[in-house]
Structure 1
């Protein structure tokens, strides 16, 4: 049993395929699938998180995981209503049951759900690796989606005041 899990957050049709489409989506999907393959080779749990709210109702076509993700029947699913994947979910219990103390994290949206989950995981003492080329978002405010992703990769890379190391690596280096 591995002490590491792969956490893929909110890569759902209605989150990443809207207008505008999420930044670098095709390469992000390829890189997440590479991370999934590496996790499976190492016997790591693969966990998919799905967000739901009034305009993204549970079970709707928009709520579904992106069809290009290499999901398998045995993969865990976590359903959430807040940005942080730990908030009012069974994620912490699921990780504990698997003996996980390290996480690889990717998904959408970089500046909201990925970042809030990553920061909570760090605060909870998990050793976190953000998949640098495995997360995405849409353009917002004055920044393009690409700029937001690049900014967060740089910010996370320079975060050192953490209980465990916070790493930022491309999928190929996992």
Structure 2
């Protein structure tokens, strides 16, 4: 495990909110609405925003690859293209966060049990403080080895996992979208 990241800023990281993913997720309208609220607060305070998009499953610029309806990236926001569940592997995410002086990540998006959980867990192991937005992530039903889980069960399990996450000298929070605040970013002369 890396040591605690001392960056002074917070970043909003939005994972896999792509049309091809959201077609199979539960509560898509509620999750999109909550992410829209987070975006407004992040943008109003100058908080860096990172959009993570999967390019392993979806061809770039295809309908499935594009952000789901209701979400739009602004020109000054970061876009991270990934080929693995882990948003840090083979991407410039970590280097960009360091360059932006980020030490805390607020993470939301899809799929709770795969890409969101992997990104948040990896960020924690790399020393970032992590807030998972408990009501702004989603996934679909899954069956593995004859066991089936609903999307809601997977979301609840993901939240339970992050509610108990603990590393020395780091903060891990599980918050509702309405509870998340972003401090105004100041520019030092």
Q: TM-score range by the shorter chain?
A: over 0.9
Output the CA distance in 2 between the equivalents of 1:163 and 1:60.
Answer: 42
Q: TM-score, normalised by structure 1?
A: 0.93
Aligned residues, how many?
170
User: 1:46 maps to which residue?
Assistant: 49
Q: Does residue 1:30 correspond to 2:33, yes or no?
A: yes
* C-alpha RMSD of matched pairs (Å): 1.5
Cα-to-partner distance string for 1:15-35 (whole Å, 9 max, x where unaligned) = 111xxx301111000111111
Q: TM-score, normalised by structure 2?
A: 0.86
Q: Does the 8 Å CA contact 2:8/2:103 hold for their aligned counterparts? A: no
Deviation at 1:70, TM superposition (A): 4.2
Identify unmatched segments of 5+ residues in structure 2.
1-6, 181-189
Q: Does residue 1:169 correspond to 2:169, yes or no?
A: no
Deviation at 1:163, TM superposition (A): 4.5
Pairs within 5 Å for 1:1-174 = 3-17=9-23, 21-53=24-56, 55-141=57-143, 142-161=148-167, 163-174=169-180
Where has structure 1 moved over 2 Å in runs of 4 or more?
160-163
SS at match of 2:66: coil
Q: Does the 8 Å CA contact 1:109/1:135 hold for their aligned counterparts? A: yes
